[in-house]
A and B are shown apart, each in its own frame.
Chain A
Amino acid sequence: MTFKNAFALCAALSVSPLIANAQETLTLYTSQPNTDAQQTVDAFEKANPDIDVEWVRDGTTKLMTKLRAELASGVVKPDVLLIADSVTMESLAADNYLFAYQSPAREAYADSLYHPEGYYYGTKIITTGIVRHKRAPETPKSWADLTKPEYKGQLVMPSPLYSGAALIHLATLTDAPELGWNYYEQLQANGAMAQGGNGGVLKAVTSGSKPYGMIVDFLAIREAAKGSPIEFTFPTEGVSMVTEPVAIMEGSKNKAAAQRFVDFLLSKDGQALVLEQGYLPAREDAGVPAGFPQRDAIKLLPFDAASTLKSTDENKSRFSDIFGG
């Protein structure tokens, strides 16, 4: 193949996805796991056959770097974002990258779950708790338990430097009066290891190399249901929460379709899907998945997205200093 032909082929390939669809195309950037993203997109497309969704899945940090680089060059590719945490959304809103949309579905949601001006809406409640391998000698019941000598060198947790959820968790726990930064220093002294993301924690605990871990609820509960030798605990002090918010980009060219996507996620059907996928839906009346306690039994620690945004860099560097990441 000559250079010219190859180039032409590539150019054609790159253009063809755009010509192929005569209908509307929505581009979604998400940090959900692949299978969940595929299911979400499939369900939306089924309910809205005239819209085609192309989705890009990556870890929150990588996704945001990609997005920021694009925005810095003046290019806006995604129409909607569905990413782990609201702090990231806050920073995008602060930079005026998000489009304010007052979705009618927001009536069914607690005020704390969405931005008052409609920049972003939480779709799930994902908490971070404690997971242990079934053969592990101890059964931790609280965050404080993890600083005990029995857990020395046996704990793994996601790093706030890589995981949006872990960052929120850090901010929440360090704000809690009975825990604070002292807690993390104790953990470090107790040999806790900060692994990359929640997926890494899952691997470490299921493979037994670290019998105890901090992890997001759905991962542990879902895998345990499939037969993984692990079990998840909601610690007594309370848990941190991320809401996996959805938002529309200010620069989107398909705002109408984007709004329908947001509405779908917030609708009863959309939340039913969330339930089926094993997450705790954000919508109050949507029930709880198998393996979860009732909503009122879950104690949420207080959290403020805006103030967390301000202290993000400081938190990260302080964590980095403690754990040498």
Chain B
Amino acid sequence: MALLTLNQINKSFNGQNAVSDLNLSIEPGAFVALLGPSGCGKSTTLRMLAGFEKVSSGSIFHGDRCLSNATTHVAPENRDFGMVFQSYALWPHMSVMENIAYPLTIKRVDRATKQKRIQEALAIVQLEPYADRSPAELSGGQRQRVALARSLVTEPEVILLDEPLANLDRHLRATMEETFRTFHKRTGATMVYVTHDQSEAMSLADQIAVLKNGQLIQWASPQSLYQQPRTAWLADFIGRGSVIRMQPSDELQPGRKVEQSLIHQQLILPHIPSQGVDVLIRPQSVCLHPSLGISAKVTQCIYRGGHFDVELSLPSGQTLLAYHDTPLAVGETLFATVQEGWSLEPDHV
């Protein structure tokens, strides 16, 4: 199993930059998510990894093998990767079995091995009884699983997934996420997973690359991304929370944990500072109390099934998000304490 590296990748279409200066190093066997809003370049990056797009500059290496750079380009059919497409791309004129068998047929694998692998693949995705059906007869989730089975049947080192759960309903998504997890454990393949859904990425991936407008914002584990996002935009994109602007000071540098005392100092200020450092406060860090803490007024209270999202208005006018077990009346004045925060870099992109 080899390292998959993207070095200084740039890709432009007709003068427009789709991906700029992307550097990623993917450990063998890792489950990596490429996360970002639409148009951020994640699909383009995946397609470059697959070989459907050439790189404008930079290089892609799989171990020692150069897959793509400005002068050479290995065609997708020669990369020995697997891929699951958003639309599943099951061939309608072939049965489920034939769909899964195709990569092995191309590689001229002998019949015995081929049968064995197909059966294994069907077992992993639990579709053995459907082997002779045509894709038109299957539900969305079943088709997804066939696509998955097809991608692993040649036992590739790398499997690429392009928003595979985008077309499924919520319940199905939860089940499929489980399938992906088991799948990853069983095959041990490197998986590169493109999604715009951050909760999906957080639950599945070991490492997440967040992209925006073609540039890499942060490359970190889900926990780091959640707790220590680099920029304000990212803080907003991942998870829920409030971004509070605080007056600059020596202790308030970007990329650091901010202590309670400093936060409380800043929160009671009556105005939003014109210049300052943005600090992320997750709702889990906010405690509400009838009398202790900083005074804030409830502006909204929404039931989320199990808890309430409470939006509080601070003296400076900024909004603070908190969780609460019981409903609170709008306009009620409460007191909030914040345990910690995380200071953010300004957005460049």
A touches B (Cβ under 8 A):
no
Which residues of A does B touch, CB under 8 Å?
none
